[in-house]
Amino acid sequence: MPEHHTRPGSVASGDILQTVRVGLPSNLPFAGPLTYAVPEGLALAPGDWVEVPLGKRVLVGVVWDDTEGDDPDAPVNAAKLKSVAAKLDAPRMREPLRRVIDWVAAYTLAPHGLVLRMAVHMPAILQPDAPRVAFRAILPPLPEDVRITAARSRVLEAAQHEPLSANDLAEKAQSSPAVVRAMADAGLLQRVTLEPAKPPTPDSQRPGPALSPEQEAAAAHLIAGVEDRAFRVDVLDGVTGSGKTEVYFEAIAAALNAGGQVLVLLPEIALTAQWLDRFQQRFGVFPTAWHSEVSPPNRRRTWRWVADGAARIVVGARSALFLPYRDLRLIVVDEEHDQAFKQEDGVRYHARDIAIVRAQMEGVPICLASATPSLETVANIDRGRFHRLSLPQRHGGASMPTVEICDLIQTPPPRGQWIAPPLVDAVTQALADGEQALLFLNRRGYAPMTLCRTCGHRFACPSCSAWLVEHRYTGRLQCHHCGHQERVPSACSSCNATESLAACGPGVERIAEEVAERWPDARVAVMSSDLLQGPQAVRELIDSIGRHEVDLIVGTQLIAKGHHFPMLTVVGVVDADLGLAGGDLRAAERTFQLLTQVSGRAGRAERPGRVLLQTVEPTQPVLKALVAGDRDAFYRAEQAARQDAGMPPYGRLAAVIISASDLGAAMEFGQKLAAIAPFGPDIRVLGPAPAPLALIRGRHRVRLLLHAKRSVNVPAALRDWLAGAKTTGSVRLAVDVDPYNFL
Ligand code: ADP
Ligand code: ZN
């Protein structure tokens, strides 16, 4: 790779003009890095951080190298070229990360700068951690002409030992930072400079638990991969409670032992807290966390720690993929099938897929863990690209829970209630035996719709095609799409009838109300993202459930994942049909995964577990497979159906979503696009059709769906197609390659 991009300039004869391409983290719609002149005497290499002028602004960018998409033969008008303003002192962006950014931009059709921005976190990140100033008592004798007050003498006392910051010292001496500083000025304390803080190093030599033979074999395979230092994908496919985490911890230990860094991706921030605890128990220190709730000062430090290699283990959400690892040796994606890995706005990427790309660019192994791998992953196992490691049994001889159907037609709940008699009995029994029960309903709030019994008016969001969801704890009606909220009215806004509003259908809050009436003595917890503020609150609740301070849990998918509660024996799925409505491509797969996961909470220790699925359609294949415990039969049927239809992972999809302030404009643009759409035996475009959620935030939405054979290069086809489309007025266009959301 050339150091820079040099070419003869058109300036004065004989001059060699040095230019570089600079990637700019921005939301400006550039196709790629921009070319700048390099001032004489400035040596730049790919990955260097620089300041460059753009219009009237000065932006921070990264020196890029020659890559696809750039036109190296385009004439550079030297006279018009602006120069790099300065080189910044920051760790170089390594080539594998630059290649990942190029790859994501090319694949998702997102502007290069928008992708680069995910790796940069401007501007603070480029400021090195300031050395910390600390204070320490001077050696005697003290200067004579200084007055020693009581406060000063307390500070002197406190400053006898290790150097402390002004704040820490003041706190220890019950004084103030101003007193501390004044004492230093008066010569009573010595100022010392401390190295910036570093994260603690995990103890990778600590022994883990004794592994079962299956765990041992899987761990040995993963460790061999880490030692090989080559790209490969291993799928840790083990039933819930089989000890997948313990297995990949062994691979993490191997990577840490070798002096490298490890990235662990989890689908939800709420899960990281428990993961941090578990890691701490195994390796003695907490790992470094990276997600949207990490405070800005911590982000800045963490980014630096990752770049200089001090952060040995990073656990985080999607965005941790774009951190500047210095010496990455292993990536783990836990719950790899989880759709939360798909980012649905801005750059629409799937974090599992990009994790694989990153592992490939870095030349390191990646481990995908799941009890219900995605069909995409299964197809890659079948194609021989990924290697499967199976853990077919629960750890420690715990049995898998029994799964039963609870037929809501044959044994319906009483009117206005949602828990049917068989589930009531099961929960009552568990409580009587001193065990815990979980009622699962993947719907936040109290009721998904509010209806006026007098006029039939239904309360809808003013700017989305969606009903308002009642949240009784906050007394509000909320739109789950745009965040609009209003007070629950006392009268119908359409006919003014009072006491006429009826809540239709249940959310978790309503189930909690029913639970409180039916089991008044049970200690009940409701677990729903809107009721718990941040990961810490989730962690506290999880801990208290673990300590058996809660008998009955009512929860959304937040509770379904990853937790281990030994006393939880009964899981009731209040509405097993919920995810199957709407008929999107992955509805059955997703429902199977979610219900397997929530079922997996039951009976993880000595006491056997029991799962009841409430349904009005007991013959649905998904539910039958869950009852039979026959995952592979379900997968085979689902694969066959996708194969027949040429749907992912056996075919390809991309969505083009057009939005505008009026429907006509969106539709008209959609028709124009359809008219120039690619068409042939391997590719066709469906639509335009109004999106199921036709209105969001006041914008009308129309969708086109590109469906192609697997052999088609979809991003290239999209680029050719959309190159001819100029949006005007309020029309906006978004592209979603491999869509997961069909709303
Ligand atoms: P999974 O991630 O597959 O659902 P976990 O790794 O959470 O399973 O393991 C389930 C439980 O069994 C956890 O409490 C874990 O600590 C325990 N466990 C797993 N493997 C072992 C082992 N080899 N020795 C002791 N405990 C284990
Ligand atoms: Zn709305």
Q: Which pLDDT tens digit goes with each residue over 336-361?
A: 999 999 999 899 999 999 999 999 99
Residue 5 confidence class, pLDDT cut points 50, 70, 90 = very low
Residue ending a domain, among 586, 618, 640, is: 640
Residue ending a domain, among 365, 396, 427, is: 396
Are 392 and 406 contained in the same domain?
Answer: no
Q: Which atom of ligand 1 is nearest to the CA of 564?
A: 14
Predicted TM-score (pTM) of this structure: 0.88
Are 189 and 241 contained in the same domain?
Answer: no
Strand 485-487 relative to strand 476-478, pairing: antiparallel
Alpha-carbon distances of 330 from 245, 258, 610, rounded to whole Å: 14, 11, 37
Expressed in angstroms and rounded, the spacing between residue 472 Cα and the centre of ligand 2 is 18
Expressed in angstroms and rounded, the spacing between residue 530 Cα and the centre of ligand 2 is 16
Q: Which parts of 109-203 fold into alpha helices (H)?
A: 112-117, 150-158, 166-172, 177-185
DSSP per residue over 467-484, as a string?
BPEEETTTTEEE-TTT--
Element (H, E) at 368: strand 365-370
Pocket lined around ligand 1, Cβ cut-off 6 Å: 209-212, 215, 238, 240-246, 395, 564
Are 332 and 266 contained in the same domain?
Answer: yes
pLDDT at 13 over 70: no
- 615 half-sphere exposure, CB direction, 13 A CA radius: 23
CA-CA distance, 377 to 379, in Å (whole number)? Answer: 5
Distance of CA 332 to the CA centre of its chain: 13
pLDDT confidence of residue 702: 95
456 in a domain, yes or no?
Answer: no
CATH code of residue 32: 3.40.1440.60
473 in a domain, yes or no?
Answer: no
pLDDT at 301 over 90: no
Alpha-carbon distances of 20 from 76, 97, 373, 421, rounded to whole Å: 11, 18, 44, 72
222 in a domain, yes or no?
Answer: yes
pLDDT confidence of residue 535: 76
Are 263 and 347 contained in the same domain?
Answer: yes
Are 547 and 416 contained in the same domain?
Answer: yes
Q: How many percent of the chain have pLDDT more than 90?
A: 66
pLDDT confidence of residue 209: 94
pLDDT at 466 over 80: yes
- Which of the pair, 482 or 227, is modelled with greater confidence? 227
Q: Tokens 């801005």 label which residue? A: 346
Is residue 222 within 8 Å of 367, Cβ to Cβ?
Answer: yes
Are 434 and 388 contained in the same domain?
Answer: no
Residue nearest (by alpha carbon) to ligand 1 atom 9: 243
Which residues are within 5 Å of ligand 2 (an ion), measured at CB? 461, 464, 479, 481-482, 484
Is residue 738 within 8 Å of 706, Cβ to Cβ?
Answer: no
Domain that holds residue 178: 132-194
How many C-beta neighbours within 10 Å does residue 137 have? 19
CA-CA distance, 241 to 239, in Å (whole number)? Answer: 6
Q: Which atom of ligand 1 is nearest to the CA of 391?
A: 3
> Measured at the alpha carbon of residue 340, what is the angle toward residues 616 and 367, in degrees to the nearest 5?
115
Number of domains in the chain: 5
Are 518 and 614 contained in the same domain?
Answer: yes
CATH code of residue 656: 3.30.70.600
Are 218 and 93 contained in the same domain?
Answer: no
Extract the runs of DSSP E, i.e. beta strands, from 196-287.
232-238, 261-265
CA-CA distance, 433 to 632, in Å (whole number)? Answer: 34
Are 703 and 627 contained in the same domain?
Answer: no
pLDDT confidence of residue 128: 67
Mean pLDDT of the chain: 90
pLDDT confidence of residue 148: 82
534 in a domain, yes or no?
Answer: yes
450 in a domain, yes or no?
Answer: no
Of the candidate ranges 24-33, 76-85, 159-168, 387-396, the one whose mean pLDDT is the lowest: 76-85
Residue nearest (by alpha carbon) to ligand 1 atom 13: 243
Of the listed ligands, the closest to the CA of 698 is 2
Residue type for position 334: D
Expressed in angstroms and rounded, the spacing between residue 246 Cα and the centre of ligand 1 is 6
Residue ending a domain, among 640, 674, 698, is: 640
Q: Which pLDDT tens digit goes with each residue over 577-627?
A: 998 877 689 999 999 999 999 998 888 888 889 999 999 999 999 999 999
Q: What is the mean pLDDT of residues 241-248?
A: 95
127 in a domain, yes or no?
Answer: no
- Give first-to-last CA distance, the chain, whole Å: 44
Expressed in angstroms and rounded, the spacing between residue 460 Cα and the centre of ligand 2 is 8
pLDDT at 710 over 90: yes
Alpha-carbon distances of 120 from 25, 93, 114, rounded to whole Å: 7, 10, 10
Instruction: Provide the token pair at 567.
Output: 């006393």
Are 179 and 300 contained in the same domain?
Answer: no
484 in a domain, yes or no?
Answer: no
Q: For the chain, how many residues are written?
A: 743
pLDDT confidence of residue 349: 97
Of the listed ligands, the closest to the CA of 697 is 2
Are 662 and 634 contained in the same domain?
Answer: no
- 695 bridge partner residues: 700
Residue nearest (by alpha carbon) to ligand 1 atom 10: 241
CA-CA distance, 304 to 333, in Å (whole number)? Answer: 23
CATH code of residue 583: 3.40.50.300
- 126 half-sphere exposure, CB direction, 13 A CA radius: 19
pLDDT confidence of residue 503: 93
CA-CA distance, 506 to 528, in Å (whole number)? Answer: 14
202 in a domain, yes or no?
Answer: no
User: Is residue 258 helix, strand or coil?
Assistant: coil
Are 680 and 715 contained in the same domain?
Answer: yes
DSSP per residue over 649-711, as a string?
TSEEEEEEEEEESSHHHHHHHHHHHHHT---BTTEEEEEEEEEEEEEETTEEEEEEEEEEETT
